[in-house]
Structure 1
Amino acid sequence: MKRRVLSLLLVIVMILMLLPGCQTKETGPAGGNANENTEAKVEKKILKYNMAEDPRTLDPQLNSSIKAGDIINNIYEGLMREVDGKYVPGIAESYEVSDDGLTYTFHLRDAKWSDGQPITAHDFVYSWKRAADPTTASDYANLMYYIAGGYEFFNGEGSSEDVKVKALDDKTLEVTLAAPTPFFLELTAFYTFMPVRQDVVEKDPEGWAKNPELIVTNGPFKLAEYKMGDMAVLAKNENYWNADNVKLDEIVCYIIVEESTSLTAYESGDLDIITNIPLQEVPEIMVNNPEFHITQRNGTSFYVFNVKKPPLDDIRVRKALTLAIDRKLIVDNVTKGGEMPAVGFVPPVAGMKDTRGNVFREMAPDYGIAIDSSKVDEAKRLLAEAGYPDGKGFPEIDISYNTSESNKAIVEAIQEMWKKNLNIHATLTNQEWSVFANNRRNGNFYVARHNWIGDYADPVTFLDLYNSDGGNTSSQWVSKEYNELMNKIKTENDPIKRDEALYAAEKMLFDEQLFMPIFHHTDKMLVKDYVKDWKKTTALGNWYFGTTDIVK
């Protein structure tokens, strides 16, 4: 494995400069050494983790990023928390569900915010209604549709008072759902349902969530420092209700985007955990490094088409581009991490079942996409029908992706397949994450990299992405019929009818060919052997360090 000495030295210097507690020795008062406290700092248990991406926001109601979610999942806590695939009490000490499955009553434990103020049921009422408020522009506002009145409030057909979540007293929260929702408890562990405090948000609505001087949190850690583009430092929250069992003193979350630099820092001991591993290094690391871990993930990697931009406004073009891709070649020769070629949207994980308990992917079709090859002849026929025989006259289109060596390798493979199989040329544009995310959100692209990780164990978590009532769709496609179908799924009590709607929804996405699926995800990570009891077990694959220890 090649090593660059200069790169190594630069990484070491950068990280040492950023690491809290690394200061120049000084002579203190009366001849004392001001560095006497340094030993105490060195003895602290500090986890050094590379999150690899500068978060757009740390506001639970506004976040839709997995990487930012790693921080949010450690500085906030919902009514429930997911640990080892199970949902355990978080801020809610207990709960009851009515016989009809519509009313949940949560009893909050005696818990405090990081500034010592008590957490109350009113904090949850404010936060959930804030998420449903159309002026908040939450990407996940549609999750509030499960609550009676949530849909009406967001769509201007009702008011905040109509959203059926209320505080019976400071420690009792009552929620009435629009329809029985078997996974509602899972939702209460998700970012959007985590509480924020109204007085803090209103002090600086745009900047409070990244400001250590303003933000208050209720999880095992609190935001102690944030340097844009460099790092975030999380410190143990002494006011957390379970603080006695939190072993880490600090987590330093570095923002090192370049994967080779991240790996060099890990191998030199300057990082304890990384997940952005260069694709070309994975096969060797997988065999030779016992600190390498790989797990299946509830996610799909795909490329979204902007259906409003010619020639992508022609469904035949979109289908041709999709059929020209050899997914097995990509996972075998590019990603090399145990990924599964994708022929649908909802991934084939065991927990992703329909209403009647069937694994969704096993019951759904492949929509004409070959799992182990491309379909070049059919792709050429469709392109010719669209007016571009053998690619002649096809305008140059652009594929956008966020900066990453792995993303670059995948998009270059797609570019080459389109050139070889269809005789068309695509330019490649890489952008820093926040710029890329905004451009994709606003439709400033032709074809753009995308991936989706399930938020909870129901196919709706994927299918709802194209519900234009939500805030995460990027294709610029709006379908009233599809929105109504998704709303039917959320309110249908008959399991047979609900399942019919689930499968019809995925079929509609492929009938319109809004995106081309590439593969279903795995998680690949390197974790030092002295890091104990680490968790990466939420439905989203977020890190949870509330039980983690460092034992050297």
Structure 2
Amino acid sequence: MRAIAILGPALLLAACVGEPEAPAAVLRADVVGTFDDPASPPRVALTQSTQLGLVQFDGAGQVVPGLAASWRVVDGGRSLIFRLRPATWSDGRALKAGDVVAVFRRIMAPGSRNPLKPLLTGIDNAASVVGGRAPMSMLGVSAPLDNVVEIRLSSPDAGLLQLLALPQAAIVRSGSRPPSIGAFTVTDGAARPLQLRRNPRYFDAADVNLGGLALTAAPDPAAAIARFGRGETDLVTGDGIAGLGEARVLAPRGTLRIEPTWGLYGYQVNLKAGPMSDARVRRALAMAVDRDALVRGLFALPQLVPLVSLVPPDAGAGEPAVPDWAALDAAARRALAAQLIAAAGYGPDNPLRLRVSLPPGRDHAQIFDAVLRDWQMLGIVATAVERAPAAQRAAVARGDYDLAVVERSAPAPKPLFFLRPFTCAGSGGSYCNKGADALIDGARVMADEGARGEALAHAEAAMLADTPMIPLFVPVRWALVGKGVTGWTDNQGGQHPLGALSIEETRK
């Protein structure tokens, strides 16, 4: 069965339902990205606005009840029991616990591409189900009563509720046009901006202060920033570092919001072919970058910090692992990097030449230019190749790069989110350290959180010794919030459900 990781284009044609009795203002929101990418912020915002999970995030990023009115944690944290509230989809059908079980089975199906799947393998028998070694009926999600759902875990997971609150864990019915069970329903899927209105069947409709949404997917952050400056939109939410420079310069006073993240910005390396397949070259490039100078010179933001590890400092259970050269000063690193480059066979008569694949945008180009200045001290010649997001993904898939920008922000402080791409399965075969994988597999079933964190730190250290990527810094998240918009609260997880906002109707 094909999993629904996030709402697809079919939702844009979802059936209409009746108007709320007293329509309020419509919030105009530009979300950087496109509707074409299933994992893009616009699609996530659409799902978060129209669907709901067992729990949800409030406007401050805190987990609050969703379709579950309450829950209990029993059996030493190995079982969570959710009691469902009376809830109805926009087509009038009532929610039952079996609907929840069906969604979790889709998420964890062997062919599912839901990004939460690797983070939910702590559910009983999930690893065997995902690997096709056990039937789906063995998954530790059950419905003992029509209004009760139990999730059993192989070991306690303090961050599970944060994962269940994400839009990717929403209880979306299968079918080509899934109805809404969230705060809004789509009224015109063909219109741009996408038109949504308040869902009168939403269980908490009385507390939704907006009459509707006009949701725009904005591929170009600079264009969205310009629209905001002209008063054509009330809110712009960014997608990573792109657009931050323009936002800082052009945003009207008091409208720019900058949040820290549990994130990573750096360069993925092509381990299969080319010069980056040499571990000495990877290590030299990672060592040669002066990250302190990079973040000071380009951004000068306290929320943006240098990074030499794979897991950001506050995203793990303990101190992250660091490479053995991290304690050296910049000059000592460059000297050692020069020795490694020479040992790999490169020099004035045979310079190391690299292609670095970048997403569009001035910010990515400026970061590359700063990194290049450090690499040029080693005689390295690097060329930037700017590609649109879809072309970037395709180029990486076919190996048409030496290095490529990677920017990841986790929804919760989960070290596995950052380590998973470097496991034998998660890397798609481009990198495999079986010793590190064994440590991660062992950590999954550890009941003690401290022991689990220590095992994951050892796994990270083993990976760092191979330099599977070049981390640069912990990125930030930005948004432009109009002065009439209320209810926005900065939070590190970047959770800003549009239904939690209000707007004063002051537009002409």
TM-score range, shorter chain: 0.7 to 0.9
Structure 1 partner of 2:440:
486
Contact 2:97/2:143 (8 A) holds in 1: yes
Distance 2:398 2:455 in 1: 29
Structure 1: how far apart are the matches of 2:186 and 2:394?
25
Q: Which runs of 5+ in 1 are unaligned?
A: 1-39, 201-207, 209-213
- Whether 2:344 is the aligned partner of 1:386: answer yes
> Equivalent residues in 2 for 1:191-210 (5 A)?
191-198=167-174, 200=175, 208=176
Instruction: Measure the CA separation in 2 of the matches of 1:153 and 1:521.
Output: 35
Which of 207, 218, 222 is matched with 1:256 structurally? Answer: 218
- In the TM superposition, what is the alpha-carbon distance from 1:302 to its structure 2 partner? 1.4
Q: Distance in 1 between matches of 2:328 and 2:26?
A: 44
Question: Shift of residue 514 of structure 1?
Answer: 0.8
* Aligned-partner residue type, residue 178 of structure 2: I
Amino acid at match of 1:409: Q
In 1, Cα distance between the equivalents of 2:81 and 2:190?
Answer: 40
The equivalent of 2:3 in structure 1 is none
Q: Name 1:27's counterpart in structure 2.
A: none
- Tell me if the contact between 1:316 and 1:382 (Cα under 8 Å) persists in the aligned partners: yes
**1:77 paired residue number:** 52
Per the TM alignment, residue 438 of structure 1 is displaced from its structure 2 partner at its CA by 4.2
Is the counterpart of residue 400 in structure 1 residue 363 in structure 2? no
1:429 maps to 385
> 1:31-70 CA deviation, whole Å, 9 max, x = no partner?
xxxxxxxxx9xx8522222212113445xxxx4x445323
**Is the counterpart of residue 346 in structure 1 residue 307 in structure 2?**
no
Q: 2:222·2:246 contact (CA, 8 Å) conserved in 1? A: no
Cα-to-partner distance string for 1:106-140 (whole Å, 9 max, x where unaligned): 11111122322222211221111111111223343
Q: What do the CA deviations read for 1:436-490 (whole angstroms, capped 9, x no partner)? A: 23443564432111112123233233223323434xx478212333322212111
| Contact 2:415-2:456 within 8 A present in 1 as well | yes
Aligned equivalent of 1:549, options 498, 502, 507: 502
Deviations 1:376-408 (A, max 9, x none): 222111111111135x43453321122223222
Distance 1:249 1:536, change over 3 A: farther
Contact kept in structure 2, 1:46 and 1:249, CA below 8 Å: yes
Matching residue of 1:22: none
8 A Cα contact 1:531 1:548, kept in partner: yes
For residues 458 and 136 of structure 1, do their structure 2 counterparts lie closer, same or farther at Cα, with a shift above 3 Å needed?
Answer: closer
Q: Which amino acid aligns with 1:216?
A: P
Residues 1:332 and 2:296 aligned together = yes
CA deviations 1:413-434 (Å, max 9, x no partner) are 333432x222222222222223
Count of residue pairs brought into register by the alignment:
478
1:498 equivalent in alignment to 2:478? no
Structure 2 SS opposite 1:219 = coil
Matched, 1:412 2:373: no
- SS of the aligned residue for 2:475 comes to strand
Aligned to 2:268: 304
* RMSD (CA atoms): 2.7
Q: Do the aligned residues in 1 keep the contact of 2:119 with 2:416 (CA within 8 Å)?
A: no
Which one of the candidate residues 90, 103, 109 is aligned to 2:79? Answer: 103
1:188 equivalent in structure 2: 164
Equivalent residue runs for 1:257-336 within 5 Å: 257-276=219-238, 278-281=243-246, 284=249, 289-336=253-300
Distance 1:216 1:308, change over 3 A: same
* Paired residues for 1:504-519 under 5 Å: 504-519=458-473
Paired residues of 1:107 and 1:171 also in contact (CA < 8 A) = yes
Superposition TM-score, scaled by structure 2 size = 0.86
2:152 alignment partner in structure 1:
176
> Partner of 2:13 in structure 1?
none
Normalised by the length of structure 1, the TM-score is 0.79
Tell me whether 499-508 or 475-484 shows the greater mean CA deviation: 475-484
Cα separation, 1, equivalents of 2:130 and 2:43: 25
- Alpha-carbon shift at residue 231 of structure 1 (Å): 4.6
Q: Alignment partner for residue 401 of structure 2, among 445, 456, 471?
A: 445
**1-structure distance, mates of 2:328, 2:429:** 24
CA contact under 8 A between 1:341 and 1:520: conserved in structure 2? yes
Give structure 2 stretches of 5+ with no counterpart.
1-19
Deviation at 1:278, TM superposition (A): 4.1
Decide whether aligned partners of structure 1 residues 537 and 111 sit closer, same or farther in structure 2, where only a CA change above 3 A counts: farther
Within the candidate set 236, 244, 251, 2:198 is matched to 236
Instruction: Give the secondary-structure state (helix, strand or coil) at the position aligned to 2:404.
Output: strand
Matched, 1:121 2:97: yes
**How far 1:149 sits from its partner (Å)?**
1.2
Residues 93 and 284 from structure 1, CA distance in 2 versus in 1: closer, same or farther, beyond 3 angstroms? same
Contact residue 441 and residue 474 of structure 1 kept, 8 A: no
Q: How far does residue 182 in structure 1 lie from its aligned partner after superposition? A: 2.0
Report SS of the residue matched to 1:410: helix
Superposed CA offset, 1:18-38 (max 9, x none): xxxxxxxxxxxxxxxxxxxxx
CA distance in 1, matches of 2:244, 2:360: 14
Distance of 2:399 and 2:339 partners within structure 1: 28
Aligned to 1:12: none
Q: Letter of the aligned partner of 1:445 in structure 2?
A: Y
Q: Indicate the structure whose relative CO is greater, using CA pairs within 8 Å and at least 6 residues apart.
A: 2
Check conservation: 2:436, 2:460, Cα contact below 8 A. Answer: no
Q: Percent identity?
A: 24
* Alpha-carbon shift at residue 259 of structure 1 (Å): 3.5
The Cα offsets for residues 219-258 of structure 1, whole Å up to 9 and x where unpaired, read as 2123444469x65433322221111111222222323333
Q: Does the 8 Å contact 2:229/2:250 carry over to 1?
A: no
